[in-house]
Every structure is written in structure tokens, then in C-alpha cells.
């Protein structure tokens, strides 16, 4: 769990012993490429920390499934809406390659939040950061065209270069056809 350990340490100043105790509440889960972590219509029950690999978060909209988001190595992820509002998830969450997660039940998270104020701080910071990332994405959509969004996204992480172009197209909010033309034009 070194990766998770380091990640938490990078976010908060926590006692070694407390951290050890908290880590005991995580479980490792391995997912083969293309297998589902969560299926649309089911209830999200866990938070995931991605040790390696990545997740594709797909969104069902008028009969087809679009990639809404990609979560990668060293990130926390879950369907927070499903957990908070106890509603079935709108998402299909799927491994984009062989992936290792550290998972923790949402009730356990809640308990740890109460038990360890520093963990509550950790939670706050995680969501603050998630918010900033989402706003960044939003501003990109508001102020850039597809080509600019593509170039910006490409810079951000090399893993994005490994996902199928059709998923990337969804992520960018354009059709695979358009993305293909974009790439041709740029090259």
C-alpha cells in the first residue's frame, strides 16, 4: 500500500500510527482490463484509490454509452452522487487496463471521518481538489474549441494517449469522426 500511504502523506500531516490503523480499512482489488468495477443501476458502496491502471467512467445517454471521465493512477474515485444520495449509479465504471484498486466502504469512510478529525480533513482536501479539476474541465469546455481541448488534454498525461480514440472523443465532447479529422489536420 506504499502508493496509498504516500498519497495520504502528501495530503495531510498524520501520525504514523493513525495512518497505519486507517490503512487497515482498505482492501486490495484487482480488475482485469475491460471488467466492470460498478455497473449502471447498482449502488456505489466504495471509494477507490487507483494504485495502477485506470478507470473509464461511462454515462448512459439516449441508448448509448459515453465516456464521461477517466480516472488514473494515484487518484481517488467513486460515484459520490450514488453514495451521498443513496441512488443507483448513472455510470458504468470499467478498467481501461489491468488495474489495482484499494477500496474502502463508504460507511467505513464515514466512521473514520468521525473518529479521526485529520481524516475528515483528508476528505475535505480530496473533494476540494476534485472540484478544482472539474472546474478546470468546465472552463475548457466553455472557452475552447475541440482542437484546443484536444491539445490541452494530450499534454496532461501520457496515459490518456493510451485510451481508445472513441473514448477520448466522448471525453472531449465530440464524435470519433471529428476527432479523427482533428488529428489528421494537426499532424
Partner DNA sequence: TTCATTTCTTGCCATTTGGCAATTCCTTCA
Partner DNA sequence: TGAAGGAATTGCCAAATGGCAAGAAATGAA
From 25, 52, 140, 180, residue interacting with DNA (rule: CB under 7 A):
180
Q: What are phi and psi of 180, to 5 degrees?
A: -60, -45
The stretch near its own copies (CB under 8 A) out of 18-26, 41-49, 99-107, 117-125 is 117-125
By CB under 8 A, is residue 5 in contact with its own copies? Answer: no
Between helix 106-115 and helix 117-143 the angle, nearest 10°, is: 120
Residues from 145 through 174 that contact DNA (CB under 7 A) = 145-147, 164-166, 173-174
From 10, 13, 143, 155, residue interacting with its own copies (rule: CB under 8 A):
143
The stretch near DNA (CB under 7 A) out of 3-11, 119-127, 128-136, 175-183 is 175-183
Using a 10 angstrom Cβ sphere, with 0-12 exposed, 13-18 middle and 19 or more buried, the burial of residue 15 is exposed
Residues from 41 through 60 that contact DNA (CB under 7 A) = none
Cβ count within 10 A of residue 147? 17
By CB under 7 A, is residue 31 in contact with DNA? Answer: no
Helix %, strand %, coil % of the chain (to 5): 50, 25, 25
Q: Tell me which residue has cell 476527432.
A: 179
CA atoms within 13 A on the CB side of 126: 20
Binding region for its own copies (CB under 8 A): 59, 61, 66, 68-69, 80-81, 84, 113-114, 117, 120-121, 123-124, 127-128, 130-132, 134-135, 137-139, 141-143, 170-171, 173
Amino acid at each position: 500500500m506504499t502508493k496509498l500511504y504516500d498519497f495520504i502523506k502528501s495530503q495531510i500531516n498524520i501520525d504514523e500510527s493513525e495512518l497505519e490503523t486507517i490503512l487497515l480499512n482498505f482492501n486490495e482489488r484487482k480488475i482485469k482490463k475491460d471488467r466492470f468495477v460498478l455497473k449502471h443501476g447498482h449502488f456505489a458502496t466504495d471509494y477507490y484509490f487507483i494504485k495502477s491502471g485506470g478507470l473509464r467512467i461511462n454515462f448512459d445517454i439516449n441508448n448509448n454509452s459515453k465516456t464521461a471521465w477517466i480516472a488514473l493512477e494515484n487518484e481517488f474515485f467513486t460515484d459520490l452522487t450514488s453514495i451521498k444520495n443513496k441512488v443507483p449509479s448513472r455510470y458504468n465504471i470499467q478498467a481501461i487496463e489491468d488495474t489495482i484498486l484499494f477500496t474502502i466502504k463508504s460507511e467505513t469512510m464515514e466512521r473514520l471521518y468521525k473518529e479521526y478529525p485529520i481524516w475528515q480533513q483528508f476528505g475535505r482536501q480530496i473533494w476540494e481538489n476534485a472540484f478544482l479539476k472539474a472546474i478546470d474541465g468546465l472552463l475548457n469546455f466553455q472557452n475552447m474549441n475541440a482542437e484546443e481541448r484536444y491539445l490541452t488534454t494530450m499534454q496532461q498525461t501520457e496515459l490518456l494517449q493510451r485510451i481508445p480514440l472513441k473514448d477520448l472523443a466522448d471525453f472531449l465532447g465530440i464524435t470519433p469522426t471529428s476527432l479523427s479529422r482533428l488529428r489528421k489536420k494537426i499532424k
